Copies of this chain bind each other. A is one copy, B any other.
Amino acid sequence: MPHLPEHLLTGYRNFMSGRYPAESGRYRSLALEGQAPETMIVACCDSRSAPEAIFDAGPGELFVLRNVGNLVPPYEPDGEYHSTSAALEFAVQSLKVKNIVVMGHGRCGGIRAALDTNFAPLSPGDFIGKWMSLIAPAAETVAASTMMTATERQTALERISIRYSIANLRTFPCVSILEGKGKLTLHGAWFDISTGELWVMNKETGDFERPEL
């Protein structure tokens, strides 16, 4: 017997009776012609920050990579398995997206783990510890800012890590070349789970600001 958790089956039934009939033509043509999204989103796995919900995006609109902490590691052509680099390469070279948005969010568990100086490995492999160690230098500096509140430190590191990922995007030759030619634009955004506010990175200053809507 095929089996899925009941909440997923219920959700799928809603999709088929609700959204799908209105979008079936779109799904069909996307199947025939292939996807051609203009925008890649690098987002977190967090269940509260789904890019398609936040950007009210339909099928075919967003190519979405999601990992813990929405991190992009630096370019490392060493022949190892790099899921993030693979998705980036596919989006830029094959789909030729015009925009890459790194979208972080408030109350990120990965960022919290990076800031937690007493963080104990979750399993013998310590995959989260190792993965978040990508931003360890920043995390140590921020963790030492003890006059900021825990929430202020968390928000600061969330935003630093977005800027860090954008900087790493530029270590990929294909990204920096296309950005130099004006064919690819990099963006940062931060979603406040608590209020639904979206804060967008100012490219000149690196600050996060609320766009006029």
Check if A147 sits within 8 Å of B151, measured CB to CB.
no
Check if B63 sits within 8 Å of A46, measured CB to CB.
yes
Check if B160 sits within 8 Å of A156, measured CB to CB.
no
Mark A4-46 against chain B: 1 for CB-CB distance below 8 A, else 0: 1101111111111011100010011011101101111000011
Size of chain A's interface in residues, with CB distance under 8 A?
A: 132
Give the residues in chain B near A18, CB-CB below 8 Å.
Answer: 56
Check if B194 sits within 8 Å of A56, measured CB to CB.
no
Check if A68 sits within 8 Å of B87, measured CB to CB.
yes
**Smallest CB-CB separation from A198: which chain B residue?**
B12
Q: How far is the CA of A61 from the CA of B11 in the complex (A)?
A: 11
The answer to whether the Cβ of A169 comes within 8 Å of any Cβ in the partner chain is no
Q: How far is the CA of A152 from the CA of B153 in the complex (A)?
A: 11
Check if A160 sits within 8 Å of B173, measured CB to CB.
no
When all copies of this chain in the complex are counted, the total is 4
Known A67-B65, A196-B24, A207-B151; contact A130-B55, beta-carbon cutoff 8 A: no
CB of A75 to closest CB in B, whole Å = 7
Interface residues of A in 85-99 (CB under 8 A from B): 85-91, 93-95, 98-99
Known A131-B81, A194-B28; contact A3-B63, beta-carbon cutoff 8 A: no
Mark A61-92 against chain B: 1 for CB-CB distance below 8 A, else 0: 11111111001010101011111111111110
Q: How far is the CA of A10 from the CA of B141 in the complex (A)?
A: 37
Interface residues of A in 181-211 (CB under 8 A from B): 185, 187, 189, 192-196, 198-211
What are 27 A-B pairs with beta-carbon distances under 8 A?
A5-B98, A5-B99, A11-B57, A11-B61, A12-B198, A13-B213, A15-B56, A15-B196, A18-B56, A31-B106, A31-B107, A35-B47, A37-B47, A45-B65, A46-B63, A47-B60, A59-B193, A67-B67, A73-B81, A82-B130, A89-B128, A90-B109, A93-B122, A124-B173, A142-B145, A145-B145, A149-B207
3 closest Cβ pairs, A-B complex: A31-B194, A2-B200, A86-B131
Given A47-B59, A80-B130; 19 other pairs, CB 8 A cutoff: A2-B201, A3-B200, A7-B39, A8-B39, A11-B57, A11-B61, A12-B54, A12-B198, A12-B213, A27-B194, A28-B194, A30-B48, A35-B46, A47-B63, A66-B66, A80-B80, A90-B110, A90-B122, A148-B160
